[in-house]
Amino acid sequence: MVAAETAISDIDGREGVLSYVGYDIHDLAPNATFEETCYLLHNLELPNEQQLEEIKEQLGREREPNDFVMELMPQLSQNTAPMSMLRTACSASSARDPDGWDTSEGANYRKAMRLIAVFPTLVAYYDRLRKGHPLVRSDASLSLAANFLYMLKGDKADDEEARIFDICLTLHADHTMNASTFAARVCAATLSDIHSAVTAGIAALKGPLHGGANEQVMRMIKEIKEPSKARDYIINRLRNKEKVMGFGHRVYKTEDPRATHLRRMAKELAEKSGDGNNYEISQEIEKAVMDEKGIYPNVDFYAASVYGYLKIPTDLFTPVFACSRVSGWTAHVREQYADNRLIRPDHAYVGPERRSWKPLSQR
């Protein structure tokens, strides 16, 4: 059943093809920056030089959270899990947005850019606050990807790591009518505001069957500890009818094209770090799941190793996913507003036949 018409992205699950506005992800991953990807998703064309400079400037300028959110951050860092922080901070960001409750096309574009720009800062500040580390202010001269790693860790990432993270952001940016994007569009279709719609997207992404899978993958790798133990672990898990996180997909019936890039980058980082253990465990898991169930890894599987090698704390993997997917959510929300119709799915009733009211004394 078609839930919405979209020009933003498309998937061919049988062939394993993902495209953004007609561009194959295999073309975008090695060539596009995340800033170019954001422009593409929102404007349905690649930017020329001037347009790229403009969006880079905009995404560089809007990185600091507003005062209201900054007042909340110490509390959030102590009392909430990372995705709950992001959900709350996103919602709170509407309070002092410079465009207020203006819902014009121009205001919604600016709000979208502000959300894309501020998400990485929220995640980095959250981590530093909870650890009692001093905040690292954003550096507008760095790309969104390089700046996030800088604000999170306090040191500038080398070019290779910054580029790998940039590619991760592009790979996660959009994925048609996935659960969180659908949730965002359902909310937008009531003509609720863009911050509310993105907040709904975050709430849906949080679940372990969607964005939360990447964190579970790293926990599994840590539990397995060494490559030789991977196969038995998987066999046991499957015997107990437990799912292996990071595998399977509702749409792809072959390799998820994003996994191809993430596998390669995980290998590169493993070699660079001189510690191939996580990568080797991942490979053994992949072989065992394929042999036992014939199921392919999805985007979350090798993303976990990549983020692990980039020294991103495990419980920030899903918020990092959101830092990328906010570009897709906001593009979809704007597309929904542009040609809106309330989304109201049909249902299949499975309850009792119609019956008569029973007074309390007879129940």
Catalytic residue selected from 42, 172, 175, 249: 249
- Minimum distance from residue 256 beta carbon to ligand COA (Å): 7
Distance, in Å, from the CA atom of 79 to the CA atom of 130, rounded to the nearest integer, reads 9
Other C-beta atoms closer than 10 Å to the C-beta of 43 total 14
Catalytic residue selected from 166, 193, 256, 300: 300
Measured from the CB atom, the residue of 34 and 301 that comes closer to ligand COA is 301
| Cα atoms found within 13 Å of the Cα of residue 356, Cβ hemisphere only | 3
Measured from the CB atom, the residue of 193 and 215 that comes closer to ligand COA is 215
Q: Where are the alpha helices (DSSP H) in 154-193?
A: 159-172, 179-189
Residue among 8, 30, 5, 6 at smallest CA distance from 19: 8
- Minimum distance from residue 243 beta carbon to ligand COA (Å): 4
Nearest residue to ligand COA, scored by beta-carbon proximity: 248
The answer to whether 60 and 140 are in contact (CB under 8 A) is yes
**Residues engaged in binding ligand COA (CB under 6 A):** 209-210, 213, 243-250, 293, 295, 298-300
184: tokens are: 């965002």
Helix (H) or strand (E) holding 11: strand 9-12
- Minimum distance from residue 343 beta carbon to ligand COA (Å): 21
- Minimum distance from residue 66 beta carbon to ligand COA (Å): 32
User: Per DSSP, what are the bridge partners of residue 10?
Assistant: 19
Residue among 284, 270, 268, 182 at smallest CA distance from 228: 284
- Minimum distance from residue 119 beta carbon to ligand COA (Å): 20
Other C-beta atoms closer than 10 Å to the C-beta of 53 total 12
Measured from the CB atom, the residue of 69 and 204 that comes closer to ligand COA is 204
Residue among 300, 270, 332, 326 at smallest CA distance from 123: 326
244: tokens are: 């292996």
Distance, in Å, from the CA atom of 126 to the CA atom of 106, rounded to the nearest integer, reads 30
Measured from the CB atom, the residue of 210 and 264 that comes closer to ligand COA is 210
Measured from the CB atom, the residue of 35 and 300 that comes closer to ligand COA is 300
Measured from the CB atom, the residue of 17 and 70 that comes closer to ligand COA is 17
- Minimum distance from residue 210 beta carbon to ligand COA (Å): 6
The answer to whether 249 is a known catalytic residue is yes
The answer to whether 286 and 301 are in contact (CB under 8 A) is yes
The type of residue at 211 is G
Task: Write out the catalytic residue numbers.
Answer: 249, 300
